[in-house]
Amino acid sequence: MKLCSLRSDSGEDVGFETAGGIVLLSSINKVTGNEFGPTLFEIVTEGQRDRLESALANPDVLATAVRDDHPNFLPLYRNPPKLWGVGLNYRRHADDLEAVQPPDVPGSYLRPNSTVIGDGDEILLPGQSQRVTAEAELGVVVGTTCRDVPEAEAGSVVFGFTTVLDMTAEDAIRVNPRYIPWAKAFDTFCSIGPWIVTPDEVKDLASVRISTIVNGRTIATNQVSAMLRNPYWQVSHFSGGMVLEAGTIIATGTPGAGVIQDGDTVEADVTGVGRLRNRVRHSTNPAG
């Protein structure tokens, strides 16, 4: 299953990719008489996936599919219960920052929901940073509230995978690595989406390739297999002694970052999952 949040004629809706085009959640509810949703967040967190898959097998539902080459995507949802980021999970990115990659556990940080944007939204460069970078990442969407999950069982709590474009005020962390929560926390610094893809659609997670692209040029690319710690290890690690609420998103680390400037177009491409695209501009906020 491949799902997105998007704007339709009736307002915010959820889209499902099918062979015939995009089927809207509002159409599914109308045809079947159900009340799924109403947003993607509830689909992720309330265990609606199996019933929706059954509904999508209904020929009357599939007949409502619409081909749309340019959907008006929205962020998957704007308020993940937790939004974890993982740093230095690839050796290349450690080299970017002239930092030593940790030998056992990658760096990590929590970020506020005010950072969240979606495909097509603008990334705002804050006045307090003169060097902002963008980083493509694979995102893991937790679908079951959990704690202390063994790595071997982590797949059972994962709803799916998404694409993340993660921004950093890199000059701040070059001054002092302890500034990383600040460097990651500016508004618009975390683009998520446009799709969630359920694990059954990803045949070989280790071979999934993540690429950071600035103005059409691939700045860095690598596969999940090159990570210091794989996504399921990360789910286990972050659930250790801490509840991961359903809807939590983990950005699993970047193969490399690109410097972004006003007017740039920056993209994150995750093969088989999705491609994000955002424009960059200076913030109009006089406070930066």
Per-residue pLDDT of 261-283, as tens digits, reads 999 999 999 999 999 999 999 98
Residue 91, pLDDT above cutoff 90: no
Whether 167 shows a pLDDT value over 90: the answer reads: yes
User: In the chain, what are the domains?
Assistant: 2-73 (no CATH), 83-282 (3.90.850.10)
The 10s digit of each residue's pLDDT in 220-257 is: 999 999 999 999 999 999 999 999 999 999 999 999 99
pLDDT tens-digit readout, 47-83: 999 999 999 999 999 999 999 888 999 999 999 999 9
User: For 133-158, how does the pLDDT look when each residue is reduced to its tens digit (9 = 90+)?
Assistant: 999 999 999 999 999 999 999 999 99
Q: Which residues pair with 12 in a beta bridge?
A: 7
Residue 121 has pLDDT above 80, yes or no: yes
Q: What is the pLDDT of residue 77?
A: 94
**pTM of this prediction exceeds 0.85:** yes
